[in-house]
Amino acid sequence: MWMYTLLPKILNMSLTASIVIVLVLLARLPLKKAPKIFSYALWAVVLFRLVCPVSFSSEFSLLGIFNAPPAINGTVAYIPADIVHTEYPQVNLSLPAVSEAINNTLPQGEEQLVADPLEVLVSMATPLWLLGIAAMLIYSMISLIRLRRKLIGAVCLRDNIYLADHVSTPFVTGVFRPKIFLPSTISEQEQSYIILHEQTHIRRLDHIIKMVAFLALAVHWFNPLVWAAFVCAVKDMEMSCDEHVLKQIGFDIKGAYSTSLLSLATGRRLISGSPLAFGEDTIKGRIKNIMNFKNPAVWVTVVLVLLVSALSIGFAVDQANVKILTAQAALEAFSAENKDGRVTFVIPRDYDKPQNWNIIVAGRAEYEDGFSRSVHLFEDVNEAKTWGAGKEYTIETNDSYTELHITVSLPDENGKMLVRDFDFNFTQDVSDTWPAEKWMLITEADVTGDSINERLYLDKSQMDTTFDITLHVLDSAGNEIWNESGNSSHAGWKSLFLCQMNGKEYLLRYTPYMGQGYGTYTYTLFALENGKEKVYKTNTLEFDLNGIGKLNTPEMIAYADEVNDLLGKSVLLMSTEGGIYSFGPASAESFFERYSWLDGNSELFDPADSLETRVEKYSSWAVKNRRLSDLLYNANFTFVSSDKFSEAEISDAMYCVMDKFDNAFKGCELTKLWYDEEISNAQIESYMTGGRGSFNGINKNNVIVLLSEFNVDSSGGDGSLNPNSTYNNWIWILIRDSGKDEWRVDDWGY
């Protein structure tokens, strides 16, 4: 909704303009004695920043002086446009300390998503901001109406110049046809100075610039720096006009010109009530500037032009557009190092979702009482999701630390959890380090749903005896509330993961069991409640790879998608799958369900085949293979060494016959199928001399003959066979174009 995104955009423009205003104010200091046209030109950049929501990016930007973030798509986002409905809202201001203070007060996680306090705040602030704009515009219009009344009876002096009795200061009004109004009491000598001054304003379009500046001020009325910029810009505008008059008429009129200004000083308000009534302000400062003004040398002017041009470009462009890091790139850019007993790590600045960082910092330290205890750092920052982009975090390890472990994880663009580990050992005796102790802290997570993190430890002490590894979950008081073991024996294979979904954390158990060609795959997504598993989602897939029937491919693909969706949001804690020990925290990608048993028959598939196609091809092959095994068994046939064909070539020929029989011999049952090389050779000679082989051009090495037995039902098959009969030694002649091509049935019969 526009109400929730408009104000953040305006605030971002105002914050960028604020940096430019400060830079212009600083730049005016060395330009104090320079002609005011140069400092006036710099205010044009501020106006551009206030009214234009996008800008260009360049390495020449000077905004980096104030640590301004780089632009994304032409816009600097100190405040995200979607901050209202972001789970972990963060601001990224030019002052890191201010950003951190604000971020610490912003609602996070479930509090933000459920209660949505920022939505209430922005929905109240937006109308208030619009009300302020309306007030500024209404006041301006009222002032203009009052001024119009004072102009009743004004007399035209010449062209667009008028004399009015009820005004005390010269001014310009109108946009497309501007008119100059002078007090009727002004002398003819003073008129020449003042008219030239006002005509300079019109020629430079100052009356339009000031109107646009006033509208920008109305939009950014809440920003005190914009008010200061408006005042200073008008001051520089007037002084630059005065300097132009002196250049036109001559420097010998400084005294007379100053006297004219002094006579016009009537205590006007600081800012004109209406932007359409362009009046004269800051008389005292203008007189002082007139008296001190000197025309600079040509070389000085050239230097000033170059300097102001460079500053204008530097103020107008944003920092060079850096490529926003993906989660994978951000994880790779994350750095941690140990130097002189101090461990530091830096959050990559160019990752635009700092709230996604999950960083567990834990270590081991020896205390004066002789005991070694675990140490957990930055828990409050990690829980609040307030890691600062580009910020460096420091850990003073001193002499008490024996080691430190940093686990960093990020969800990628598809929700898959990516993990990286850093280990620091501060002892020479590696056998005494923490990972070699009985339990090793893997991570911290809220698996009970009470908003308090539990600690998850891995016990590897039984690996060499009972071959067990055990995951222990301890509450914040150190009490064990749950544990589960896995074993390297087939019956003990299992994998446990930490799954993050919908802002909550769960445990995920996955056991894809295979035995004797039968599969039973089960996953369970659960949390812990009073030490017991509270199941949120579970599913089991059962299938048979022995070819007794076709696999249910849609069901298997749906199950794999279901499991992989959960694994993509998970981090491995421990696994004994395949008899191989795997320890977390680590990526769960290698555990994605791709039905690894398919890899044992890779010759069935093309490299580009999808998982669905692979399962379907395997299913068809398994059914055929099972049927062929039965036919060969009935025929008492075993593959023996052939002088002409490999076992695979003979099997392929048999598959071809089975397909042909199913399609062409309806109402018949194939009971035996076998290969006899002696009979095959004899039949091939007959086929090549008196049969179709004599004219079809097939080489005899690409001909094979199989034998079969089949039963015919009472209908006689297609009518050409004897009903209720059995055909023995039925011949099948198959041909192929070359050794690389597939077999096809060319003839059959006796």
Q: Which amino acid is at 493?
A: W
CB 457 within 8 A of CB 584: no
Query: 86 lies in a domain?
Result: yes
Same domain, 117 and 254: yes
Same domain, 276 and 352: no
Same domain, 312 and 438: no
Query: 397 lies in a domain?
Result: yes
Query: Tokens 């010998």 map to which residue?
Result: 252
Same domain, 267 and 390: no
- What's the pLDDT at 626? 85
Query: 602 lies in a domain?
Result: no
Same domain, 225 and 189: yes
- What's the pLDDT at 714? 86
Taking the CB of residue 180, how many other CB atoms lie within 10 A of it? 23
pLDDT digits 0-9 by tens, 532-581: 999 999 999 999 998 888 899 999 999 999 999 999 889 899 999 988 88
Query: 500 lies in a domain?
Result: yes
Same domain, 215 and 73: yes
Greater confidence (469 vs 292) lies with 469
Q: Tell me which of 595, 623, 654 is where a domain ends.
A: 595
Query: 427 lies in a domain?
Result: yes
Taking the CB of residue 203, how many other CB atoms lie within 10 A of it? 10
Q: Tell me which of 251, 286, 318 is where a domain ends.
A: 318
Residue 86 predicted with pLDDT over 80: no
Instruction: Label residue 174 left, alpha or beta by phi (over 0 means left) and psi (-120 to 50 means alpha).
Output: left
Same domain, 657 and 508: no
In order of 139, 509, 553, 563, the CA distances from 538 in angstroms are: 66, 9, 20, 10
The first and second tokens of residue 639, run together, are 């593959």
Taking the CB of residue 438, how many other CB atoms lie within 10 A of it? 10
- Please, is 367 exposed, middle or buried when counting C-beta atoms within 10 Å of its C-beta (0-12, 13-18, 19+)? exposed
Torsional sign, CA 290, 270, 131, 141 = negative
pLDDT over 90 for what percent of the chain?
27
**214: three-class secondary structure by DSSP:** helix
The first and second tokens of residue 162, run together, are 């008028």
- What's the pLDDT at 434? 37
**Average pLDDT score over residue span 375-393:** 83
Band (104; pLDDT cuts 50, 70, 90): low
Q: What domain range is 719 assigned to?
A: 635-749
Residue 197 predicted with pLDDT over 80: yes
pLDDT digits 0-9 by tens, 74-85: 666 667 666 666
Distance CA 390, CA 50 (A): 27
Same domain, 515 and 550: yes
Pairing of strands 504-515, 495-501: antiparallel
Same domain, 274 and 344: no
Same domain, 310 and 335: no
User: DSSP string covering 12-44, please?
Assistant: HHHHHHHHHHHHHHHHHTTTTTS-HHHHHHHHH
Could you tell me which residues are beta bridge partners of residue 496?
A: 509, 574
- What's the pLDDT at 117? 65
Q: What share of the chain is helix, strand, coil (3-state, %, to 5)?
A: 40, 25, 30
Band (279; pLDDT cuts 50, 70, 90): very low
Same domain, 55 and 105: yes
Q: Tell me which of 318, 344, 366 is where a domain ends.
A: 318
Query: 608 lies in a domain?
Result: no
CB 497 within 8 A of CB 511: no
Distance CA 472, CA 478 (A): 11
- What's the pLDDT at 443? 85
Same domain, 582 and 652: no
Band (292; pLDDT cuts 50, 70, 90): confident
Greater confidence (496 vs 718) lies with 496
Residue 278 predicted with pLDDT over 50: no
Distance CA 276, CA 144 (A): 7
The first and second tokens of residue 128, run together, are 């208030």
Nearest-CA neighbor of 697 among 647, 652, 738? Answer: 738
pTM higher than the cut 0.75? no
- What's the pLDDT at 269? 41
Residue 264 predicted with pLDDT over 50: yes
Query: 628 lies in a domain?
Result: no
Query: 605 lies in a domain?
Result: no
CB 614 within 8 A of CB 511: no
How many domains does one find in the chain? 3
